[in-house]
Amino acid sequence: MNLESLDGRLLFAIPKKGRLHDKCLELLAGANIQFRKHDRLDVCLVLNHPIALVFLPASDIPSFVGKGNVDLGITGHDVILEANMQEHVTEALRLGFGKCALQVQVPENSAFKKAEDLAGKRVVTSFEVIAGEYFGKIDQGLGLEGDKRTQIEYVGGSVEAACALGLADGIVDLVESGDTMRAAGLHAIATVLQTEAVLIKSSTPKHANLTPLITRITQRIAGVIASNKFVLCQYNIPRASLAKCTAVTPGRRAPTISPLEESDWVAVSSMVEKSRAADVMDELVQAGAEDILILKLDNCRV
């Protein structure tokens, strides 16, 4: 693709592979960002907006957004910190997927019970910057200096094998389900940080004319995230029990309350978290609500 064809378009960086890729494609579809990507090309034009999608390694996206010409990007919160780009990019939205924990892990049969026990020892990780800062504070608190400080060594993959192969006393690695950790005979003794996918933009806007489009795309993505997280709950309730029921369904800001022909009854409509929908319906029944409906949200604006 001729890169000159990207002039005037909003550049949106998407992870080209890995744990965030498929979810990002679902998010783009929900936001009605239509495109066709050829297998061998990492840049494609959006069909219904002046946007070009750029598919990059997730670890590179903060730098391209913070210091390059890319306007928006999706990456992990942990990746921003590892790239030291938190001053150059702004997290516009937490996206609710790709959640995992960056944890300190040691062999299950080791004598290490807390992160401080690894001070002065060998730690292997793919997150050299974050781990260095984390153990740097521990070393400082324990008064360790020079050669006595914790040794942080970088490896790009197979971090979980470092202890078994004699390279490390402990590791710092991402844990999602924990299956890989347990299969390697490791267990977590400390959590460095919790992370998830985030939508980022440059802290210093590069193209003022694209600001309205950046805002629109951000709002669309926020709507997709909300529609995946919430459902719409509708029910009828006697006015005398209204306060009790609205305490169960306070909504994101406030419930919508409409009068019915029977003056002592009202209809209530409120967004509730999808994960709590069954419990909410049970509580509403106990409070005297009737005709309770849960409606799926395909999309929304919040």
| Over residues 61-69, mean pLDDT | 94
CATH assignment, 230-296: 3.30.70.120
Residues 10 and 213 sit within 8 Å (Cβ to Cβ): yes
Residues 208 and 102 sit within 8 Å (Cβ to Cβ): no
What is the structure's pLDDT at 3?
A: 53
CATH assignment, 3-98+197-206: 3.40.190.10
What is the third-level CATH fold of 100-195? D-Maltodextrin-Binding Protein; domain 2 (3.40.190)
Give pLDDT tens digits for 181-190.
999 999 999 9
Of 189, 273, 261, 192, nearest to 231 by C-alpha is 273
Domain boundaries, the chain: 3-98+197-206, 100-195, 230-296
Give pLDDT tens digits for 120-160.
999 999 999 999 999 999 999 999 888 899 999 999 888 99
Give pLDDT tens digits for 243-287.
999 999 998 889 999 999 888 999 999 999 999 999 999 999 999
Paired tokens of 121: 């020892």
Sequence-ordered list of residues with C-beta below 8 angstroms from that of 61, at least 6 positions apart, any chain: 13, 15, 70, 73, 74, 75, 79, 200
